[in-house]
Structure 1
Amino acid sequence: MELLFSQYQYSCHKRVLYKRDELIVLKRNQTLLLEYFLQNPNDIHSKDDILDVVWQNKVVSEQVVFQTISQLRAIFGEQSIKTYSKKGYKWQYPVSKGGVSEPLLSPQNIAKNKKSPYVLYTAISSVFILLILLLASQWQTPSPQISLHLAINDHVSDSQSKLQQTDINALSNDALFSVKPVAVPESNQQHFLSPQQAWKSAQLPQQSWLFWGDIYPSEQGVFLHYGLSRDTRHWQGYTFGETAEKAMLALREQLNRLHDVEFFSTSKAIRLAELQTMHAAAPNNEEVTLLLAKHLIHAKQPDIAMVHLDKLLHNQGYKQKAYRAQAQWLIGMIYKIRKQHQQSAHRLTLMNEELKQTTLRPLQHDYINTSAWLHYEQGNIDPMFRVLEEAITLTKQQKEPLAQFEFHMLYSILAKKVDNTSKQYAQLNKAQALLIDHNLSDSNKAIVYFHFALFTEDNKLALPYLKRILNIPRTASNYWVLDHALEMLVTYYIEVGDFKSAHALFDGAIKQPAHLLLKAQVLLAQGLIDDARPLLQDAFNKARLTHNKPASLNSALALYQLAYSTPEIKREYLAFLQTNGSQQWLKQHGVTSAIALEH
């Protein structure tokens, strides 16, 4: 039997595919899956059904289904196979039979059964029921499309080319996504820095995603840097094409790949366990691998992260430059954390080599930022200042006020660390001027206020700045400033015995381990040990779940020091501290002697 669809002809008997008169060579699994779709074009096929039919008794992961689906889409077009969220896949092209097929009842059988009307009636009824089932399968309610809102900003001066309303048709995928424009007040650069705040500012419906992208023409094609955000969940990555149109097609494909690993199915923040599941399903997805490596580094598993990053470095070709540059950067960061400065500098040099033939400004800025910190740690003060001055000149020429602001702030921070007061204040004032002149987001003011607070010699004079910081929107780039400001305020109020003001800093339910720990410290200062203990235990558990090592150590230390802890429980916390705390930390917090006594 031959099956016809679009411009193709498939022979079920020979299991070969032709496009007009041209033979299309398919792999075995591609052939079996295509045949399954063509023979059942009106059904939605689950991953389990596909595994049973195509791979039968072989033990394989669901990733093979995703890969084979993607391969068929690459051959027949994205629209050929439709994904139904949490249901499966359905063939989209109309299918017709090209050869003469055996009738359901041959003339001989009809003649044979003239004396047996029951058989004929049964056959006709079966055909009728089959037709009803086929029609019913087409009436199944498809999963709702994922709503993407493309951020459009015509008010902020921005020299970088970005996705515009005219790009919506190229991004739309009737099977999975609907794309609409939405006016936003801030630049794409700000969205990449604070995606959660960007989503809130856009005032989108709860189920909708904010979407934005910058275009970077380079020597051999076009890189597209895109971002996605919904409430506490966000993503960013790079695609490449020889032309802008091909880069957009690559972006559509990447969105489909994210859909296949169910990225869009929740609004919860991405955790390490989820990334490990996503990577198992899509081991060749570079963006999943990079984000997994970042989370592993945060979880103090750098050696495992390096295994994944080394794999990315083996991907050759110009289009892989963005991924290889990021992999070199992250490996350099691992060496920097380990104080292996020579190896770190080498990796940064390799990162810079990858970026030379591109215009990938965000990655260039990451390179400059890390290089400046590395010079500081090595005591190379003049090269450190020179790198920052070149960065400020570069971002000024590129007309990127937000990046220029960040480098002025970094210059001020490092100048303070090397006791260069004149440069410290000069750079801080320039950063503040940029905030005002370019009407940058209020979220950027946090670090300016924080440094004004640090520069005051009287803690009481710092209070107005610290209070202002807590009223600034929390973002991925300023969260550490807000946490430090809260800690400084709590410490001050405990020192002066103003417990009412200290408690007033905690509004509503407290979820973050560091905040639970601060609240417990206020209660301990008041002598309310029984009230503090459950908060410390909650902080300890949540810190371990989120791989927050400082909070887990500090909460374990507080629990160990509680007067009413039993000896057995105290030993458990002491064992945790000994296993997870560095020798310097243990000595600094007076735990070393307790460990010695225990042994």
Structure 2
Amino acid sequence: MIQFLDFEFDELQSVLFKAGEIIPLNSTQSNLLALFISNPKKIFSKEDILTEVWQSKVVSEQVVFQNISQLRAILGDEAIKTFPKKGYQWQLELIVTEHSTEPNNTSISSETLNHTSSKTEQDPIEFNMSQNKVTEQKRPNKAFSNSSIIICLAVFLSLIGAYYLQANDMLLNKFVSTNTKNAVSKTNAQVVHGDLQFIPFTADSPRHFKPELNALQSRLDFAIENKAADTREFINSPFMQYQKLNASNALVFTGILKGNGDSATREQLPYLLELLVQGPERSWTSYLYGSSMADLAEQTEVLINELANSDYFVLKSESLLSAELTLMNENMSQSLHALPLLAYQLIEADKFDSASGYVELLLAESELKHPLYYAYGKWLKGQLYQGKRDAVSAQIFYEQAELLLSDAHIYDLQAEVNKSMAELAHSIAHTKEDYDAIHRYLYKAASLARLGKKPVAEIRAYTLLSIKASKFGMKKERMDYLIQAKTLLAEYQLDGSHYMLPMYHFALFAQTTQERIRFYHEVLEKPVTPENYWVFFASADQLSKLYLKENKPEEALEVIEKITEPARSALLHAQYYRALDDLENAITYAKRSFNIGRGQHINWLSLNSALMLLELKQSQGENHELAEYREFIANHATHWWLSWRKDRLAKVGIDAESQMAGL
């Protein structure tokens, strides 16, 4: 931490605090502040600032003045001084403080800051000792002979060395080996997905961690460095960047190096690495704590090889993921990396009993050795209770997770927990006061995502704000937040795949049919990824229905043909033929959708198909086939689906209320 006046600036996370409260800065402002603090005696010219802060982006000099004016408005006019025709210089005294202690009142110069931020990699205990050691230099007493001095020095150094080695071994055995000891030995098995590639790693504060990043990447000799992709673009759009790399079946990974913000572990494990891996079908994220760059590199190699020897990245069907993750968790029994994703998959599948066991295991195993996964376990437990519709318990665990992540300065995950709390609040919302709570959670999520340098999450938060405002009938607010999301997409220069969700909601909120059709077409022209495929399908579904309502069956069929996945395509064809009163074809396609969806465990799809078949065939009277559809609905319908389809279910003789009561 760097302290000035009543402000504190976390140079690792690029976060500004005032009296313990976060002061929101955009990325440009935080980078500009970090630049001034990095060399407070230097007068930075406009050219210096443009090069360091905006790098290769083309902006006018006026932008420099505007951002400095914004910083002065936050910090005070006296913080930055203008030197006409020369540039700008920092003016406030800077004090180094520790995260967990009071300021030590030690003023620092630019040389001290530069030394601290560019320290070479070394053992953390040795580094701490070297920082705290005070060497007293005295003239030798003339009464001592040279040989006496040498003997005394030898004895003294041997005692110090023995003490240091003993202390070092004790501390390392207690803390540092937590991660390395749990790593399984490196496998010599052949990598099944071809070459491993990595995109150059980055950091929350790249300037601060530059020596560490260089040291870490120099040890990733088990993979091929690929400089064809921009690191931040890969982090924001891993699937799209993977496609551009034409990586075949290779695994491509990158990492974000952070400081460990957890006060209990950061002294011995000062580093946290967020590792992102992308394969042909899906991505993977893990978090590694390390004592040094060598430690993190070793853990990374072990984990990447374990992932490469799994089928996780090549499975086509989502229904097989739980089984694959269970196997991976058994094979990776010495680490915790598969547990969070396995528990999440089971919660999503409403397999709450199995999920509960894995969540409890994650909490028990991570409490003392992995603070981030411990907080993640609390978040998962909140999701588990929310799935079981126990809102009180869910809120308790969400709040615990948020507090732990806040204390550890993991802002991006803290943002996701706030989104979960917003969804929980919405599930029980009834009044305007309930909306205020939802708004508070989502606005905080957007701010935290920005602090965590996760623009996609920030945009999603504003999109959710728009959706929730719409649910409460706030037409102006819903458009304001949607426009904000679209503005941020342009500001962050994200690729077209990220425009799909906001454009879909522009279509939903459009005032005329023609506007709605135009927006749906814009959605269907955007790049499709595994994450946004549901938006692509929903847009095709809604647009085909609009065309059928407008008596334009050819246009509707053209839209339907864009969906090539068999089960979903069959459902849209069933709806199409039903609208044309071609009941024979409608039933044929509905049966196909029901059977394929059931085989692939796409329950929502099979439920919709089963309901359509009951509607289409109810005039035939009850038979074995209709009983099968009713049984499927009774066994697989969720509370949400029953509530959504309640009116249609009543028309085919299914009491949704009583079935929901039995869940």
Cα deviation digits, residues 124-144 of structure 1 (max 9, x gap): xxxxxxxxxxxxxxxxxxxx7
Match of 1:226 in 2: 275
Structure 2-normalised TM-score?
0.62
2-structure distance, mates of 1:407, 1:212:
25
Residue 589 (1) aligns with residue 637 (2): no
1-structure distance, mates of 2:224, 2:416:
31
Deviation for aligned residue 1:576: 1.7
Match of 1:308 in 2: 358
Cα deviation digits, residues 452-476 of structure 1 (max 9, x gap): 2122222232111101101112234
Match of 2:412 in 1: 362
Candidates 218, 221, 228, aligned match of 1:172: 221
Candidates 180, 183, 188, aligned match of 1:82: 188
2-structure distance, mates of 1:514, 1:76:
42
CA 1:264 to 1:374, structure 2 compared with 1: closer, same or farther past 3 Å? closer
Residue 201 (1) aligns with residue 260 (2): no
Deviation for aligned residue 1:268: 7.2
Candidates 316, 325, 328, aligned match of 1:278: 328
Cα deviation digits, residues 16-72 of structure 1 (max 9, x gap): xxxxxxxxxxxxxxxxxxxxxxxxxxxxxxxxxxxxxxxxxxxxxxxxxxxxxxx9x
Deviation for aligned residue 1:421: 3.0
Deviation for aligned residue 1:280: 4.3
CA 1:153 to 1:184, structure 2 compared with 1: closer, same or farther past 3 Å? farther
CA 1:501 to 1:533, structure 2 compared with 1: closer, same or farther past 3 Å? same
Match of 2:257 in 1: 215
Further displaced range: 390-399 or 340-349: 390-399
Residue 183 (1) aligns with residue 228 (2): yes
Q: Number of aligned pairs?
A: 458
Cα deviation digits, residues 512-571 of structure 1 (max 9, x gap): 533321122112222334434443233223322443222111111223344497822222
Q: Report the 3-state secondary structure (helix = DSSP H, G, I; strand = E; otherwise coil) of the residue aligned with 1:171.
A: coil
1:31-180 matches, within 5 Å, as 78=185, 82-84=188-190, 146-152=194-200, 167-173=216-222, 178-180=223-225
1-structure distance, mates of 2:354, 2:632:
22
Which amino acid in the other structure matches residue 199 of structure 1? Y
Match of 1:576 in 2: 632
Deviation for aligned residue 1:351: 0.8
Q: Extract unaligned runs of 5+ from structure 1.
A: 1-70, 86-143
Q: Report the 3-state secondary structure (helix = DSSP H, G, I; strand = E; otherwise coil) of the residue aligned with 1:82.
A: coil
CA 1:278 to 1:533, structure 2 compared with 1: closer, same or farther past 3 Å? farther
Asked whether the 8 Å contact 1:149–1:182 carries over to 2, the reply is no
Match of 2:381 in 1: 331
1-structure distance, mates of 2:417, 2:444:
13
CA 1:264 to 1:570, structure 2 compared with 1: closer, same or farther past 3 Å? closer
Cα deviation digits, residues 569-596 of structure 1 (max 9, x gap): 2222222223333564674223576469
1-structure distance, mates of 2:444, 2:183:
49
2-structure distance, mates of 1:377, 1:316:
30
Deviation for aligned residue 1:77: 9.6
Q: Report the 3-state secondary structure (helix = DSSP H, G, I; strand = E; otherwise coil) of the residue aligned with 2:288.
A: strand
Cα deviation digits, residues 178-230 of structure 1 (max 9, x gap): 32223225725x646x43323112232x1322212212211312221112222
Q: Report the 3-state secondary structure (helix = DSSP H, G, I; strand = E; otherwise coil) of the residue aligned with 2:527.
A: coil
2-structure distance, mates of 1:402, 1:586:
32
Deviation for aligned residue 1:264: 6.6
1-structure distance, mates of 2:207, 2:597:
42
Cα deviation digits, residues 429-455 of structure 1 (max 9, x gap): 222222222212211211221222122
1:113-512 matches, within 5 Å, as 146-152=194-200, 167-173=216-222, 178-185=223-230, 187=232, 191=235, 194-204=237-247, 206-219=248-261, 220=266, 221-259=270-308, 261=310, 263=312, 271-283=321-333, 285-317=335-367, 319-379=369-429, 380-397=434-451, 400-507=454-561, 510-511=564-565
1-structure distance, mates of 2:625, 2:483:
52
Percentage of identical aligned residues:
22
2-structure distance, mates of 1:161, 1:491:
54
Which amino acid in the other structure matches residue 245 of structure 2? A
Asked whether the 8 Å contact 1:466–1:486 carries over to 2, the reply is yes
Q: Report the 3-state secondary structure (helix = DSSP H, G, I; strand = E; otherwise coil) of the residue aligned with 1:315.
A: helix
Which amino acid in the other structure matches residue 250 of structure 2? S
Asked whether the 8 Å contact 1:230–1:267 carries over to 2, the reply is no
Q: Extract unaligned runs of 5+ from structure 2.
A: 1-177, 656-663
Match of 1:33 in 2: none
Asked whether the 8 Å contact 2:363–2:374 carries over to 1, the reply is yes
1-structure distance, mates of 2:220, 2:282:
21
CA 1:191 to 1:524, structure 2 compared with 1: closer, same or farther past 3 Å? farther
Further displaced range: 271-280 or 460-469: 271-280
CA 1:486 to 1:263, structure 2 compared with 1: closer, same or farther past 3 Å? closer
2-structure distance, mates of 1:413, 1:372:
12
Deviation for aligned residue 1:346: 0.5
Which amino acid in the other structure matches residue 629 of structure 2? Y
Candidates 541, 545, 563, aligned match of 2:595: 541
Q: Report the 3-state secondary structure (helix = DSSP H, G, I; strand = E; otherwise coil) of the residue aligned with 2:338.
A: helix
2-structure distance, mates of 1:76, 1:438:
37
CA 1:343 to 1:546, structure 2 compared with 1: closer, same or farther past 3 Å? farther
Asked whether the 8 Å contact 2:196–2:250 carries over to 1, the reply is yes
1-structure distance, mates of 2:442, 2:230:
29
Structural RMSD (CA): 3.5
Asked whether the 8 Å contact 1:415–1:423 carries over to 2, the reply is yes
1-structure distance, mates of 2:654, 2:452:
56
Q: Report the 3-state secondary structure (helix = DSSP H, G, I; strand = E; otherwise coil) of the residue aligned with 2:337.
A: helix
Cα deviation digits, residues 362-405 of structure 1 (max 9, x gap): 31121121122233334333233233333444444555543332
Match of 1:21 in 2: none
1-structure distance, mates of 2:280, 2:302:
24
CA 1:153 to 1:492, structure 2 compared with 1: closer, same or farther past 3 Å? farther
2-structure distance, mates of 1:500, 1:203:
36
Which amino acid in the other structure matches residue 148 of structure 1? L
Asked whether the 8 Å contact 1:241–1:319 carries over to 2, the reply is no
Q: Report the 3-state secondary structure (helix = DSSP H, G, I; strand = E; otherwise coil) of the residue aligned with 2:377.
A: helix
